[in-house]
Amino acid sequence: MSQMASMEELLGRALAEHLPLSAEDLAGLLQTPPSPELGDYGLPCYALSKYLHKAPDRIAEELRAEVELPEGVCEARAEGAYLNFFVDRPAVTEHVIRTILAGGADYGSDQQGAGKTIVIDYGSPNIAKHLGIHHLPSAVIGQSLYRIYEKLGYRCVGINFLGDWGTSFGRLIAGVERYGIEHPERLSVADMQELYVRYSTEADGEPELQQAARDAFRRLEEGEQQAVRIWSACREVSLEEFDRVYGRLGVSFDEVRPESFYNERLRETVERLRRDGIVQESQGALIIPLYEDGLPPCMLQKSDGASLYAARDLPAAEHRWEQYHFEKALYVVGNEQSLHFRQLAAALKQMGHEWADRIKHVNFGLIKFRDPETGRARVGSTRRGEMLLLDEVLDEAVARARRKIEDNAERLEAEADLGELAAQVGVGAVVFRQLSTRRTRDVVFEWDRMLDFEGDTGPYVQYAHARLCSILRKAGQPMAADVDHSLLALPEEWVLVRHLERFPRAVLGAAQECEPSAIASYLLELCADFSTYYSAGMREPDRRVLCEDAATRAARLALVEAARHVIRSGLALLGMAAPDRM
């Protein structure tokens, strides 16, 4: 959808007539003054003085006199070293609101990704274990990036790369055999986890048991029937649980691809690497030396011949390339694996894959827990019982949301809405909390913080949306086809319009940085502006959306409708529901 040139572009072109810079560069220099009284757009002239060899405030003054104001701009003022522009607010307001209402859910969309594919690897849990709170970041960041890139026109492929292969499954198999479990298919995930811990504990300091586990994994790799039977039973049970929990979070995938899928290819890959002289044997293990890249070697096989996860990532990456010829392949995986992904890219490069640099590790901070004794934060461990289940956290969030909703039950239309609404708000709080902070920061888990519904939270945004919906319901009239936008003259209304105008840029920024928190921050600010506007109408009936004057009311309703669209779209980009009432 081609839109009219933005105000920045128009101003950039006008300024370029008088300056030795391109219209694009000048448009980029424009910023929004700290307060609306100063102007709507501002150009800092400091940087220009090195081209013009004049004092910045003189440049501002001279430009003010010279520049021919483009249509829609009504005044330019020199303010010290800044040249500030005042736009024709009704015209901009009309343009912004019309664009949003015409585009609907498409507002903020872009065609930059047309014809391009982005592969996103997220989720990626290990089977035979519950999904814990530490699985939250990858799942929701990945899902949000998926939606953000999709909005920009990319074809996205979400892949859940299941950890179903590796030495740890040797212990599980050995455990089933050792403890005489006859029907492994009847084990629950909890049973498997317990079995794993039991065996690991027992094997501690027992070389025979450790050896038995290694043997079991080797038997699995060799395709021995009993090992395969136990392992695949465990996988089935795990998959069911993953489906359910990811479903609660609103997370889904296009492909659920187990690591074991690459078992065959792995052999071929290793053979090929041997032929090409890329791998070396070292201390009985198989490695790809990466000294030239300043990295430790990438280890493919242990000295007992069992494969390592790095070995599985190579054929998986090649396979993804063959399937999709991706523009980018994102791996939404924690900080702690940053070395692994640098090795992966370097190894692929050595294998001659030019596309290796299209791989991007979208890292995120760890979820940590406060040690009750030392007071210090550190990564949780299953052994210390610090494994918090994703299910538990969501259950608690939904329960709290439910209580809150019951306090305001009169707002609901039907009893039946309660369960679903509680889920939308409770889960929304958890998802938003994760996505509201820049992804690389570590976070210390705290119940009250994770489940907060007030202040800078998901429910705050959802609440603003519900209020907007409520106004529209109460209006009880269809959206007027033609409204007089000049009636939106309140300062708070102008602030809102400027904010709505920024949404497309927020989406582009979030995509560029792979940073969903940019959307979350945007929404919080937008909703704060709306809440201020809304509350101003509490005291003064004239300032309400549903005011006396019919024409003003119609114009304000259009603004409300536009804001509702944007909040709804923003929440969708975060993978959150936008309930109509709460």
Partner RNA sequence: GCGCCCGUAGCUCAGUAGGACAGAGCGGCGGUUUCCUAAACCGCAGGUCGCAGGUUCGAGUCCUGCCGGGCGUACCA
Region from 90-98, 114-122, 322-330, 543-551 binding RNA, contact rule CB under 7 A = 543-551
User: Tokens 């939270």 label which residue?
Assistant: 457
Q: Which residue, 117 or 426, is less far from RNA as judged by CB? A: 426
Give the count of residues interacting with RNA (CB under 7 A): 111
Binding mask 196-235 for RNA (x = CB under 7 A): ----------------------------------------
Residues 412-471 interacting with RNA (rule: CB under 7 A): 425, 436-438, 440-444, 449, 453-457, 459-460, 463, 466-467, 469-471
Q: Which residue, 383 or 449, is less far from RNA as judged by CB? A: 449
Within 10 angstroms of residue 372's Cβ, the number of other Cβ atoms is: 6
Q: Which of 54, 98, 265, 581 binds RNA (CB under 7 A)?
A: 581
Region from 111-119, 186-194, 314-322, 532-540 binding RNA, contact rule CB under 7 A = 532-540
7: its two tokens: 């105000």
Strand runs labelled E in 235-381: 255-258, 280-282, 285-288, 298-301, 328-332, 359-362, 367-370, 377-379
**Contact predicate 499/525, CB 8 Å:** yes
Q: Residue 466 and residue 401: Cα distance in Å, rounded? A: 15
Q: Residue 25 and residue 511: Cα distance in Å, rounded? A: 21
Q: Which of 10, 14, 42, 61 binds RNA (CB under 7 A)?
A: 42
Provide, rounded to whole angstroms, the least separation between the CB of residue 478 and RNA.
17
- Pairing assessment for the beta strands 367-370 and 377-379 based on DSSP bridges: antiparallel
Q: Which of 28, 247, 419, 491 binds RNA (CB under 7 A)?
A: 28
Provide, rounded to whole angstroms, the least separation between the CB of residue 355 and RNA.
22
Provide, rounded to whole angstroms, the least separation between the CB of residue 139 and RNA.
15
For CA atoms 526, 531, 536, 541, give the dihedral sign.
positive
**Contact predicate 359/331, CB 8 Å:** yes
φ, ψ at 367 (rounded to 5°) = -90, 125
Q: Residue 428 and residue 144: Cα distance in Å, rounded? A: 13
Q: Which residue, 233 or 285, is less far from RNA as judged by CB? A: 285
Region from 94-102, 221-229, 246-254, 520-528 binding RNA, contact rule CB under 7 A = 520-528
| Cα–Cα distance list, 365 to 445, 554, 577 (Å) | 12, 47, 25
Concatenating the DSSP letter of every residue in 158-173 gives: EEEEEB--SHHHHHHH
Q: Which residue, 30 or 245, is less far from RNA as judged by CB? A: 30
Concatenating the DSSP letter of every residue in 59-91 gives: HHHHHHHHPPPPTTEEEEEEETTEEEEEE-HHH
Q: Which of 408, 419, 477, 550 binds RNA (CB under 7 A)?
A: 408
Region from 231-239, 390-398, 476-484, 538-546 binding RNA, contact rule CB under 7 A = 538-546
Residues 277-316 interacting with RNA (rule: CB under 7 A): 282-285, 287, 296-297, 299, 302-304, 306, 308-309
50 is a site residue for RNA (CB under 7 A):
yes
Q: Residue 235 and residue 192: Cα distance in Å, rounded? A: 10
Provide, rounded to whole angstroms, the least separation between the CB of residue 161 and RNA.
9
Binding mask 54-93 for RNA (x = CB under 7 A): --x----------------------xxxx-x---------
Q: Which residue, 156 or 557, is less far from RNA as judged by CB? A: 557
Q: Residue 190 and residue 206: Cα distance in Å, rounded? A: 24
Provide, rounded to whole angstroms, the least separation between the CB of residue 115 and RNA.
26
Binding mask 363-392 for RNA (x = CB under 7 A): x-xx-x-------xxxx-------------
Q: Which residue, 94 or 452, is less far from RNA as judged by CB? A: 452
Provide, rounded to whole angstroms, the least separation between the CB of residue 412 and RNA.
9
Provide, rounded to whole angstroms, the least separation between the CB of residue 384 and RNA.
12
Q: Which residue, 157 or 464, is less far from RNA as judged by CB? A: 464
Q: Residue 365 and residue 371: Cα distance in Å, rounded? A: 18
Starting from the edge strand earliest in sequence, which strands make up the sheet with 367-370, in order? 377-379, 367-370, 443-444
Q: Which of 25, 255, 318, 396 binds RNA (CB under 7 A)?
A: 25
Region from 183-191, 345-353, 529-537, 563-571 binding RNA, contact rule CB under 7 A = 529-537
Q: Which residue, 90 or 459, is less far from RNA as judged by CB? A: 459
**Contact predicate 569/105, CB 8 Å:** yes
**Contact predicate 360/329, CB 8 Å:** yes
Q: Which residue, 106 or 580, is less far from RNA as judged by CB? A: 580
Q: Residue 179 and residue 186: Cα distance in Å, rounded? A: 14
Provide, rounded to whole angstroms, the least separation between the CB of residue 463 and RNA.
3
Q: Which residue, 197 or 366, is less far from RNA as judged by CB? A: 366
Residues 116-175 interacting with RNA (rule: CB under 7 A): 126, 163, 165-168
Strand runs labelled E in 310-463: 328-332, 359-362, 367-370, 377-379, 443-444
Q: Residue 54 and residue 131: Cα distance in Å, rounded? A: 63
3 state DSSP class of 131 = coil
